[in-house]
Amino acid sequence: EDKVVQSPLSLVVHEGDTVTLNCSYEVTNFRSLLWYKQEKKAPTFLFMLTSSGIEKKSGRLSSILDKKELFSILNITATQTGDSAIYLCAVLVNRDDKIIFGKGTRLHILP
């Protein structure tokens, strides 16, 4: 059975800290790994990772994929209160283009 496991499930840090969110997966027909940020409404797309070892970066957020060890990390540096959200890791599989989501990491940034 395909699964995506995120850790930690919940994290509270102070503004300015750096956080690392983890995602491991076991799926058949892997195509890509995706990260989403979810605040009050629908998830919004952050990154798509397809190749191992190539870091994707957007401002203070960055992510990398290890296809040999089947995991990815999402780093957020110099966190701000606006980074408080649920961060979802998901894997896109080839069969019917399905996306399988992890349970998410709820991140709370204290001012």
- For 74, phi then psi, to 5°, come to -120, 120
Q: By CB under 8 A, which span of 18-26, 38-46, 51-59, 63-71 interacts with another protein?
A: 38-46
- Residues 30, 69 contacting (CB under 8 angstroms): no
Contact between 48 and another protein (CB under 8 A)? yes
Which bin fits 78, alpha (ψ -120 to 50), beta or left (φ > 0)?
left
Contact between 101 and another protein (CB under 8 A)? yes
Least distance (Å) between residue 97 CB and another protein: 5
Q: Looking at beta carbons only, is 44 or 77 nearer to another protein?
A: 44
- Residues 8, 87 contacting (CB under 8 angstroms): no
Tokens, residue 97? 């283009």
Residues that bind another protein (CB under 8 A): 6, 9, 31-32, 34, 36, 41-43, 45, 48, 88, 90, 92, 96-104
